[in-house]
Amino acid sequence: MAKKILVVDDKAELRTLLKSYLAQEGFDIVQAGDGQEALFVARREKPDLIILDLMMPNMGGYDFMRSYRRNSDAPIIVLTAKLDENDKVLGLELGADDYVTKPFSPRELTARVRAVLRRLDKQVVEQDVLRAANITLDHSGRFVDIAGQNVDLTPSEFDLLATLMAAPGRVFSRLELLDRLQGTAYEGYERTIDVHIRNLRTKIEPDPSNPQYIETVYGAGYRFSAKD
């Protein structure tokens, strides 16, 4: 069955262009003109991925992500003309999975879409279920349980945790983790990983300021604690 993509942009010409191109690539496309409409369409259509403009009337991309991430972890690719790193970091903190900077080619965007969906579909670890301390990660079901409580993670956070848990004690550099999460289609920068790690610690650590699961190895990267 074709993957469903929600395209959210206030410019009808751009939505039409993306719908035409992505439909030719085999995707099922639904549209919204601003964040408020997108929330309604997303609830009704349950898209597999969202392409989201940041600057829109009524409700912009940032406010959409704040609201949408309360109930869904479907991946989000942000479209933006902004190049400021702080804007990118804010988007990542709110749950964006990738950025595409305007102007862009439809071919580049399609490559990003396929890369994100491929990450979501592929099995990144051999073990179907990973367990450490009181954390259970079920890869086939795409859920994480901590002490009997389900924890909602974005696709990037889930894949990052799965990668680290699959090799406890091993230090992963930021560039390694970027490659595991985004692949070669992503023009990544290392601070992306720091943002995802911070978000992940907030969700899984008893005390995020003093993490016991995901450890920082200064000058090298991150590792999942080998202590049980």
9, 19, 152 from 32: Cα distances, Å: 7, 11, 25
- Span 66-84, average pLDDT: 85
For the chain, the residue count is: 228
Determine the CATH number of domain 4-121.
Answer: 3.40.50.2300
pTM: 0.62
220 vs 137, residue with greater confidence: 137
- Which helix (H) or strand (E) covers residue 117, if one does? helix 106-121
Structure confidence by residue, pLDDT tens digits, 95-111: 888 888 888 888 889 88
In this predicted structure, what is the pLDDT of residue 83?
Answer: 61
Do 4-121 and 129-224 have matching folds? no
pLDDT digits (tens, 9 = 90+) for 19-58: 998 988 888 899 999 999 999 999 999 999 999 998 898 8
Parse the chain into domains and list their residue ranges: 4-121, 129-224
Q: Hey, what are 100's tokens? A: 């595409």
- pLDDT of 190 reads 64
Is 80 exceeded by the pLDDT of residue 177? yes
Confidence of residue 72 (pLDDT cuts 50, 70, 90): confident
CA-closest candidate to residue 114, choices 164, 184, 64: 184
- What interhelical angle do 155-165 and 191-204 show, nearest 10? 80
Quickly count: other Cβ atoms within 10 Å of residue 191's Cβ.
13
Please compute, for residue 79, the number of CA atoms within 13 A of its CA located in the half-sphere on the CB side: 25
**First-to-final CA distance of the chain:** 41
**Cβ 162 vs Cβ 130: under 8 Å:** yes
Q: pLDDT value at position 216?
A: 93
CATH topology of domain 129-224: Arc Repressor Mutant, subunit A (1.10.10)
Interatomic CA distance for residues 2 and 118, integer angstroms: 13
Any residues with CB less than 8 A from the CB of 151 and at least 6 apart, and which?
144, 145, 203, 204
Spatial contact of 93 and 65, defined as CB atoms under 8 Å apart: no
Residues 90-95: what's their mean pLDDT? Answer: 81
Token pair, residue 68, equals 């949408």
Taken in order 32, 66, 107, 114, is the CA torsion positive or negative? Answer: negative
What distance in Å separates the CA atoms of residue 210 and residue 117, rounded to the nearest whole number? Answer: 33
